Structure 1
């Protein structure tokens, strides 16, 4: 958008004055209500607000993103466990030696894009082609989505006009001045016959994978959340109202049509009505929660809590997927700096050439990060971690209600490592991880491997079960498709319900290869296109 303001200070002042005026005269009716200001909802709200005649209300349960821990890339871990984190926990899991693992999720303007490590990962060609096949709509395939990426990106890296865009709202660049830990990982990969690329997006995500310096959402040393790139520049417009500390509790209906939402604002219940549509962008935990507590979901689950069934959709809360990983740690010979938030290089690779996408997702972090259980093995004061991750785990979890009220916590049965194939994949992943970290390339930098070290099969399985953590990419709990377990159609409309769409990671039928922020932006862009087309706005 064209910025009519002379400086960031002028824009900030206009935003403050306009939003204060909007809050002082909250309307009871808006054209569109977008629930959740994360990586999808921020896009939907901003795109709909492009038309000055359209009135948009964006609701966010969290608060302001004006905090050093959000703005400064290296401080992202400081947000975990604070008011900017939903603080979800998975149930104790027998496949993880009875452990309950944290499932952190952003509760702040920007959602996960305000507290994550800022990695821009587009997903593999086969991910998008899978979505298109499941939905029966070629508008979701890789070639179509590639056009969206080219349109929205402002790419500041090696030229690739076939795949990368310039001038869009999403500033993306390779990690600037990466630390030796990152550059040597690429050298180690080459020594093992794994190709390296200028970017982990583009050609690398059209074939078997490879290794590359990360594409990040950092400019001039500061975080760029999706909210700041899309929504914030429009908050000086009179047709966009952004309401924080607004917890969506239920959908409001007239027969089978959603006409608004019930929201807890400042401890008080309020109702806002939507003349055209409500869009749920609350993430893979809270979107199914609001659906179920509003009477949309598995009949037995709703009846168990005395909730009247408005639409039986057995797939709501099912098909839960997440990237799981296992930290391998090396000790530095000498202390090293942490660059760009600590995640500067990544590797995607196939354990079997016959797979349609890489099943290995290795994320490097430039400081030691053991699980609490494996920390007892001895953590070096100065070291780095290579997370051996499963890009496409076969284990499937589910989300259940603990009660019918807004403050009743969700039950997250992640079922991590419940499928035996995931343990086999984890073992292969750690083998590759150790080969990378112990390669000659790291000779001068690394003193030695701290963990796991050389273990027998039984010991390594115990290490994996004790060490499994999430990449915080929960998804797939209200999937798009055409089978009985699908929740939305190709146009993101909830089956059997009018006036309601979903736009967030929950609509994925399978988790994308790599970090989920970029695919969530595309989901938001697709939702906005579909809504604009449907309503002629």
Structure 2
């Protein structure tokens, strides 16, 4: 008997069943029966039962039989770590240990695209915040980072933004390694993507492992937003990651990682299938304490799980993929970083590497410009379905602005109460994706449990504030355009502010895109932490494969460009 339920209820039911199977709460036979009754096709249910059931059994065994040594230890299972670990396990016979501080990704809050905001400040978020800063009127901006299998790819908004052509050519110039240039990175994208949108054989791949689509059945406000962009001179493109990101920019519906109404995080395509193999162990709840070294050679790691310390040897290499806050934290806890700072907090210096924790960057996403709906419309996909890339100054070589049209109200803790933002609203969030401001990550003590201090550097450079103010004006012009008039009962905020009042609004509106990056940059200068092959300078058998290695943050949401870093790391290790 098939159970009648609406599509959202059906999706939630199937997510719950998958989680129960992975955790061993139900067997395969019961899973098949209940999944089919819940609306899944038999063939689909059988595939889920085999993949998730085998993986669960193997990983439970491997976790109980933790070995003393592995060929590779990968710290973090996010957009970089999942790629590295999954490819090593699938394409070699090497033994791989993946250490993830968080827990399972088989949860409704992760799998349901519209539930992504519930992950922020939950147990699936490390809960970091920047220190209060005068440049954002004394506010402390939150810095969510995924503490869950899949890392940021499990808690973000699922946007697949490749980055601009100039980003990768800059990375190649900084490292002196042409493997990072756009032409070569484009071949990786074409290899890994299974693009569902308008065909573009010179730029998009079909048949790869990563399902990528433009948003389907969008809220009508999303295409209207594109018309509004066009009315102010921003051209509209069929694909946000094609020709548009090789030139001056433009507007488009978003590329997303949503399939059959469910999030596709990176482990779903790189890890879940290989977790059936005996040569990979994914250990959750494993919090890194330090790298183990013999002289300048990394020999293994020490981590804590369930209150117990474990030291495990790495026969070939440790790859840090813990993110732009935790990766420099782990390095500094292990004595690798700026010598003066390490001595200041009581850490024995193993290797003076001054760039560790420096060069912190994140995109600004301001909250924002808000209109009250004329007739309320339900959000679709991830509730952020249309965007544009544009320049605040025509002399720039790359777009520095990326607002998103958001189908729900989006206001800061200052502006929400001040403007009495109603629930029946929609937003355009001004975005700055080429910030000039820089921050840093520092330790407060030698103990691994001691918190880090994060100076986000947000809007410290006057040029960033100027660009954000320009973006607010541009977003207001679009939101008040004829194309969006049928959707707007009234403009809620900011209204026609000018001069210092608008700057003050921008400082109180500023938040981040949750794209923390650049704290262990690759390059060849004295502040570089890794070389073009992602090996840590001065330390043997240690690499980094996450957004911290970006010398300059990529233009747009950083998940896709971090996958490229993971792919490059895997190519280097596998040869």
TM bracket (short chain): over 0.9
C-alpha distance in 1, partners of 2:230/2:199?
A: 23
The structure 2 residue matched to 1:466, chosen from 480, 493, 508, is: 508
1:277 partner SS: strand
Deviation at 1:381, TM superposition (A): 2.3
Deviation at 1:230, TM superposition (A): 0.7
The structure 2 residue matched to 1:26, chosen from 53, 66, 71, is: 66
Aligned to 1:100: 140
C-alpha distance in 2, partners of 1:73/1:214?
A: 14
The structure 1 residue matched to 2:288, chosen from 234, 238, 248, is: 248
Aligned to 1:12: 52
The structure 1 residue matched to 2:562, chosen from 513, 517, 520, is: 520
1:271 partner SS: strand
The alignment status of 1:346 with 2:387, answered yes or no, reads yes
Partner deviation per Cα, 1:159-191 (whole Å, 9 max, x = no partner): 001111111111000001111121011101111
Aligned to 1:235: 275
2:511 partner SS: strand
Partner deviation per Cα, 1:369-424 (whole Å, 9 max, x = no partner): 10010112120221111111111011100111011111111100112111011111
Gaps (5+ residues) in structure 2?
A: 1-42
The structure 2 residue matched to 1:379, chosen from 421, 428, 443, is: 421
Gaps (5+ residues) in structure 1?
A: none
Deviation at 1:249, TM superposition (A): 1.0
C-alpha distance in 1, partners of 2:410/2:472?
A: 15
Residue-pair matches, total:
531
The alignment status of 1:212 with 2:212, answered yes or no, reads no
Deviation at 1:203, TM superposition (A): 0.5
The structure 2 residue matched to 1:457, chosen from 499, 518, 523, is: 499
C-alpha distance in 2, partners of 1:410/1:350?
A: 34
Deviation at 1:352, TM superposition (A): 2.1
TM-score of the two chains, using structure 1 as the length reference: 0.98
C-alpha distance in 1, partners of 2:263/2:85?
A: 21
Superposed, which structure 2 residues align to 1:298-313 within 5 Å?
A: 298-313=338-353
Deviation at 1:241, TM superposition (A): 0.4
C-alpha distance in 1, partners of 2:536/2:140?
A: 32
C-alpha distance in 1, partners of 2:498/2:51?
A: 60
C-alpha distance in 2, partners of 1:289/1:268?
A: 20
Deviation at 1:306, TM superposition (A): 1.6
Contact 2:373–2:488, Cα closer than 8 Å, also in 1: yes
The alignment status of 1:506 with 2:506, answered yes or no, reads no
Deviation at 1:6, TM superposition (A): 5.1
Contact 1:179–1:338, Cα closer than 8 Å, also in 2: yes
C-alpha distance in 1, partners of 2:348/2:284?
A: 29
C-alpha distance in 2, partners of 1:84/1:196?
A: 36
C-alpha distance in 1, partners of 2:81/2:513?
A: 21
Aligned to 1:110: 150
2:90 partner SS: coil
Partner deviation per Cα, 1:267-286 (whole Å, 9 max, x = no partner): 11101111100000000000
Aligned to 1:495: 537
Deviation at 1:52, TM superposition (A): 5.0
Contact 1:52–1:239, Cα closer than 8 Å, also in 2: no
Deviation at 1:353, TM superposition (A): 2.4
Deviation at 1:254, TM superposition (A): 1.2
The structure 2 residue matched to 1:267, chosen from 283, 286, 307, is: 307
Partner deviation per Cα, 1:190-246 (whole Å, 9 max, x = no partner): 111111111110100000000000000000000000011111111000001000000
C-alpha distance in 2, partners of 1:374/1:88?
A: 22
Aligned to 1:477: 519
Superposed, which structure 2 residues align to 1:412-431 within 5 Å?
A: 412-431=454-473
The alignment status of 1:445 with 2:525, answered yes or no, reads no
C-alpha distance in 1, partners of 2:269/2:427?
A: 30
TM-score of the two chains, using structure 2 as the length reference: 0.91
The structure 2 residue matched to 1:355, chosen from 393, 396, 400, is: 396
Deviation at 1:325, TM superposition (A): 2.0
Aligned to 1:68: 108
Aligned to 2:18: none
Partner deviation per Cα, 1:480-523 (whole Å, 9 max, x = no partner): 00000000000000000000000000000001110000001000
Deviation at 1:51, TM superposition (A): 3.4
Q: After alignment, is 114-123 or 448-457 more displaced?
A: 448-457
The structure 1 residue matched to 2:209, chosen from 143, 150, 169, is: 169
The alignment status of 1:88 with 2:123, answered yes or no, reads no
C-alpha distance in 2, partners of 1:48/1:384?
A: 44
